[in-house]
Structure 1
């Protein structure tokens, strides 16, 4: 009997595909696929049902099904499209096989149901595992990217690097800052590192402690750490908390910190001639008038 069920489904694949496509297309108006173009949706549906029948004819999971599901993962199609499509195929196939019998008893129904389930369930399990692995891989890549963006070390000039910090600094991020600082100092042969906290909304005791630890670690490997971007309210908070930042230079702005970094690396800053600046200001005012 199971082989007969297989034969009925495969021999009548055209009818079953037609019924399946109609049901799936009718559902498109109200579900997650409504934003997909009709042409892409229809072509994907046809390919989907073809690989289902291909897997049935070959007695299990095929490379075509694996490549199809992998392509949908990369395109960002939801897993529910595949699982819903397979559940719809299950219902359509069972209904069609039942329609070919004049008399249906409990045993026959059970045989048909078990046979169709033996096709569909392994495919669903395979696709769920495929999507889960892809999702975990994507999340892992996103986590790495976010970590790199949360504590970047940027070389701006020979022996000078800058680490701009934005947002809240917690213990996990502080550990990442420390690692990136130490690795970056060695990698870029940095003599001076500017830690810019302009974008850090709150500097409390814990944040200051992490920054001090990072600066001390940088000092131990032979470089100097300059803390820049200290706003007046941050300075007041640091004083009120009794935090000692006297072990390394601090500057109110990145520009001032960079000037100090140039001096520490043996570079000379030449100022523009004041008289020339005054003449330029006068000419600009006359032209504006």
Structure 2
């Protein structure tokens, strides 16, 4: 920015800040802050405008810009807050300088706009790039976390584990299920794995194919899969599609599947005549018959 323009802005920062705050306040509810308190909005606006002036004084400094972008992401604000705020500041600054100047010729106005743009545009790019980069990093971390939680393998008793599946199963998730099953069977020394599809809304040919592949892979390393949670509508779909699930046991509920798993591992539930609360609680947690 030209030294004369820069000195005008810095020497009249209080006035420009007030004009900027007044304009940005009229936009707040329309764009980015419906759920933001007045106190938080006011403090963030003042932090934003301070960062803008700091950028005028110390061009090229990026640390505060990065920190501010990270703060906006954690607040959940849209990137439009950044772009709108800087465009408002650009307009307010140009209008203020023109009001203070006796020069109104086109050359002066053009030079002023060019100089302000040379300063504002890099700040916009810097903040937007920082915002986008941090947002992509957060999305990436969330994706990894969701993948880790998408197919948990839970050991419920010696040699018996359960994998509850919830939501849609696509090719990428099927690969994670396969890897989780194989690693979990070895880690927990499982003899029987119950794959619970109660929470899977649709079982089509592709989903069934992935489940069959996973069960076959588990069989090859010495364990057995039991498919549980087959609802009547799912059973009808499987029959209509001609899907062959005869290679491994299927049960309508996790409770029934668990009883079968006990039998396959040489155990059974015996009524001793005394109520064992722990067994009752475990069976209740596995669902009704």
TM-score interval w.r.t. the shorter chain?
0.7 to 0.9
Q: Secondary structure at the match of 1:163?
A: strand
Q: Verify the 8 A CA contact 2:65 2:126 in the aligned structure 1.
A: no
Structure 2 counterpart of 1:109:
109
- CA displacement, residues 125-148 of structure 1 (integer Å, 9 cap, x when unaligned): 011111111221222233233333
Divergent runs of 4+, >6 A? none
Between 162-171 and 152-161, report the one with greater CA deviation.
Answer: 162-171
Range 243-252 or range 154-163, more displaced:
243-252
Bigger CA radius of gyration: 1
Q: 1:119 — aligned with what?
A: 119
CA–CA distance in structure 2, aligned partners of residues 22 and 197 of structure 1: 56
Whether 1:194 aligns to 2:204 is no
Distance 1:240 1:52, change over 3 A: closer
* 2:6 paired residue number: 6
In the TM superposition, residue 111 of structure 1 has moved relative to its aligned partner by 1.8
Q: RMSD over aligned Cα, in angstroms?
A: 2.3
Task: Name 2:262's counterpart in structure 1.
Answer: 262
Which shows bigger deviation, 49-58 or 234-243? 234-243
Q: Secondary structure at the match of 1:99?
A: helix
Aligned to 1:161: 161
Matched, 1:218 2:225: no
Are the equivalent residues in 1 in contact too, given 2:196–2:227 (CA < 8 A)?
Answer: yes
**Structure 1: 5+ residue stretches without partners:** 275-289
TM-score w.r.t. structure 1 length?
0.85
Provide the C-alpha distance between the structure 1 equivalents of 2:110 and 2:52, rounded to a whole number of angstroms.
22
**Superposed displacement of residue 186, structure 1:** 2.1
The 1:140/1:92 distance shift into structure 2, 3 A limit, reads: same
Separation in 2 of the partners of 1:119 and 1:189?
64
- CA gap 1:64/1:106 in 2 versus in 1, 3 angstroms: same
Change (3 A) 1:99 1:60: farther
Contact 1:2 1:111 in 2 (8 A): no
**Structure 1, 159-168 or 108-117: larger mean CA deviation:** 159-168
Q: Tell me if structure 2 keeps the 8 A contact 1:161–1:193.
A: yes
Aligned partners of 1:154 and 1:162 also within 8 Å: yes
Q: Which whole-Å CA distance do the structure 2 matches of 1:270 and 1:112 have between them?
A: 89
Give the 5 Å matches for 1:12-161: 12-161=12-161
Q: Which runs of 5+ in 2 are unaligned?
A: 275-289
Residues 109 and 213 (structure 1), Cα distance of their counterparts in 2 relative to 1, 3 Å cut: same
Distance in 1, matches of 2:255 and 2:109, equals 80
Kindly indicate whether the alpha-carbon contact (under 8 Å) linking 2:218 and 2:224 is maintained by their aligned counterparts in 1. yes
| Structure 1 counterpart of 2:279 | none
Size of the aligned set, in residue pairs, is 274
Work out whether residues 31 and 80 of structure 2, in 8 Å CA contact, stay in contact via their aligned partners in 1.
no
Q: Give yes or no for contact 2:31–2:81 (8 Å, CA) kept in 1.
A: no
Q: Deviations for 1:54-81, whole angstroms, at most 9, x for unmatched residues?
A: 1111123342232222212222122111
Is the Cα contact below 8 Å between 1:60 and 1:119 reproduced in 2? Answer: no
Per the normalisation by structure 2, the TM-score is: 0.85
